[in-house]
C-alpha cells in the first residue's frame, strides 16, 4: 500500500514539473521574434550608415544664399552719387531702416553686394576657360555685369558668359539674385539699399 502511494506521489510531481508543449511553443515564438527584431535593427543601422556615407561622398554645393562683392552693371563708379528716387537706408540687406534718402540727396557709394540663391543646371556646351563640359551639372550664381555670370563647379567659383545659362526652352537659368549698394549719407549714416536704378552717377564707363 505504501509503495503504491509513493508511486502516485511521484507521478503527480512529474506532472507538475513536466514542461507543457504550449509553454515550449511560446518560448520558441519569443526567441524567433527577438531574432527578427535584432535582424531588422541591424538592417536599419546599415541603411543609415550607407546614407550617411553617400551624403559625405557627394560634392557639396555653394552656400545658399551666396554673397559676393561685385558690380552688377556694365561699369560702376564708387563715389559721389545723387538720389533720383526716394529710398530707405537699411542697417543690412533686408534689415531695418536707419535713415531715409530723399530725391536729390547726395550720398557716397562704397561697395556692391550680390546675394543669390544658387540653382543647378546642366551645361549644353563646353564653357570656355573653365573645366565645365557639355553635360556637366553646375550651379548658377549671381550676375556680374558685362554679360558675365557667376558659376560654381566642383567646389570652385568661375565667371562665365551669361549666354551659357540658356536652357533648352530658350529661357535663362535664374538664381534670383539681388544687388545691394552700401553707401554713406551726407550726415555720415552708413547703410544698404537694394538697387533699383535710383542713383545718378553710379555708371561711369569712361
169-195 confidence digits (pLDDT tens) = 999 999 899 999 999 999 999 999 999
| 117/160 Cα distance (integer angstroms) | 17
Q: pLDDT of 110-144, one tens digit each?
A: 999 999 999 999 999 999 999 999 999 999 999 99
153: left (phi over 0), alpha (psi -120 to 50) or beta: beta
- Alpha-carbon gap, residue 89 to 189, rounded angstroms: 9
| SS3 of residue 83 by DSSP | strand
Label residue 205 by pLDDT band (50, 70, 90): confident
Give the mean pLDDT of 146-170.
94
User: Which tens digits make up the pLDDT trace of 25-76?
Assistant: 554 654 566 656 666 666 666 554 555 544 444 457 999 999 999 998 888 9
Q: What is the pLDDT of residue 134?
A: 95
pLDDT at 56: 47
Dihedral of CA atoms 30, 33, 35, 39 in degrees, nearest 10, equals: -160
- Is pLDDT at 102 greater than 50 in this prediction? yes
Distances (CA, A) of 146 to 28, 110, 149, 150: 77, 20, 9, 12
Average confidence (pLDDT) over 155-163: 96
Which residues, other chains included, contact 107 with Cβ-Cβ below 8 Å and sequence gap of 6+?
A: 80, 81, 82, 83, 101, 183, 184, 185, 186, 199
pLDDT at residue 143 in the model:
93
Give the pLDDT of residue 74: 84
75-80: average pLDDT:
92
Residue 121, CA atoms < 13 Å, CB-side half-sphere: 21
pLDDT tens profile 2-24: 556 556 655 655 554 455 555 55
Amino acid at each position: 500500500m505504501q509503495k503504491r502511494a509513493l508511486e502516485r506521489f511521484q507521478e503527480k510531481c512529474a506532472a507538475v514539473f513536466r514542461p507543457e508543449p504550449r509553454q515550449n511553443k511560446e518560448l520558441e515564438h519569443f526567441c524567433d521574434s527577438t531574432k527578427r527584431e535584432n535582424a531588422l535593427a541591424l538592417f536599419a543601422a546599415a541603411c543609415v550608415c550607407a546614407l550617411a556615407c553617400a551624403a559625405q561622398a557627394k560634392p557639396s554645393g555653394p552656400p545658399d544664399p551666396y554673397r559676393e562683392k561685385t558690380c552688377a552693371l556694365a561699369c560702376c563708379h564708387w563715389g559721389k552719387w545723387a538720389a533720383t528716387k526716394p529710398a530707405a537706408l537699411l542697417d543690412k540687406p533686408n534689415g531695418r531702416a536707419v535713415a531715409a534718402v530723399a530725391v536729390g540727396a547726395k550720398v557716397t557709394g562704397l561697395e556692391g553686394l550680390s546675394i543669390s540663391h544658387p540653382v543647378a543646371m546642366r551645361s549644353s556646351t563646353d564653357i570656355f576657360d573653365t573645366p565645365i563640359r557639355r553635360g556637366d551639372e553646375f550651379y548658377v550664381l549671381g550676375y556680374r555685369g558685362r554679360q558675365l555670370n557667376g558659376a560654381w563647379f566642383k567646389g570652385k567659383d568661375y565667371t562665365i558668359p551669361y549666354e551659357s545659362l540658356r536652357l533648352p526652352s530658350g529661357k535663362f537659368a535664374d538664381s534670383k539674385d539681388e544687388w545691394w549698394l552700401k553707401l554713406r549719407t551726407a550726415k555720415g549714416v552708413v547703410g544698404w539699399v537694394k538697387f533699383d536704378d535710383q542713383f545718378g552717377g553710379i555708371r561711369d564707363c569712361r
